[in-house]
Amino acid sequence: MTDFRQDFFRFAASQRALLFGEFLTKAGRTSPYFFNAGMFSTGAALAELSEFYAKAIRAAGIEFDVLFGSAYKGIPLAAAVAMTLARDGRDVPFCFNRKEAKDHGEGGIIVGAPLRGRVMIIDDVISAGISVRESVSIIRHAQAEPCAVAIALDRMERGNGASSAVQEVEQTYGIPVIAIATLDDLIGFVKSEPRYASHLDAVIAYRDRYGTSSHAN
């Protein structure tokens, strides 16, 4: 596990965005960990989170022309990542969508830069993939090309079938999903942090039970 992924989990835990215990998921599963990107709710926390997104995006080496923040959680993330990249020497345009089209002023559903060229979608996580589907539709309707999705955490967890939500997005749209970190990275983090050692067996058991076949050990 690269240092920035371990640092990401340490940061997430400090913000209580990452918790360990017993949590009931929307799928009715009892998870030994809980990740909530909504806890990155201060200016300093959002700025630091955007650093991790930028590191993951750079590490992936995917070329893109525009950042697209999917409403609603992706909006501040795309803006923050754009500012971080600009500070590091790459001034990238960004935009986001409205949930309802505006019928006055500039009109339409897109706010910010025009959708053109290769577009990277920014979001917090991928659960059912609904947000990604909407984003891909908007981007393609504008005659632009969705080239990747960047998220904070890949839970590597099966949905209704054999694939995870992330794998389904990659298979359906033919675009890669860039995650700051994955469930496997989380296990590596727990192994390296004595204070979380008591949760290791539960996290591994959860991955082995609900993880995708390509990931489970």
Give me the residue spans of the domains in the chain: 3-210
Residues in the chain: 217
Q: Is 102 a catalytic residue?
A: yes
User: Long-range contact list for 82-87, CB < 8 A, 24+ apart?
Assistant: 83/50, 84/47, 84/50, 84/51, 84/53, 84/54, 85/54, 85/57
Q: pLDDT tier at 106 (50, 70, 90 boundaries)?
A: low
- CATH class, domain 3-210, is alpha beta
Q: Are 204 and 211 in contact (CB under 8 A)?
A: no
- Bridge partners (DSSP) of residue 150 are 122, 178
Active-site entry in 26, 55, 102, 141: 102
Residue 2 is predicted with a pLDDT of 59
**Integer Cα distance of 149 and 178 in angstroms:** 6
Non-local CB neighbours of 88 within 8 Å, separated by 6+ positions: 54
From residue 148, how far is each of 5, 10, 64, 66, 168 by CA, in Å? 19, 26, 8, 11, 13
Is residue 215 pLDDT above 50, yes or no? no
Question: Quick one: DSSP state of residue 164?
Answer: B
For the entire predicted model, the pTM comes to 0.91
Of 3, 24, 37, which Cα lies nearest the Cα of 151?
37
Is residue 181 pLDDT above 60, yes or no? yes
- Write out pLDDT tens, residues 23-74: 998 888 999 999 999 999 999 999 999 999 999 999 999 999 999 999 889 9
Active-site entry in 55, 73, 104, 215: 104
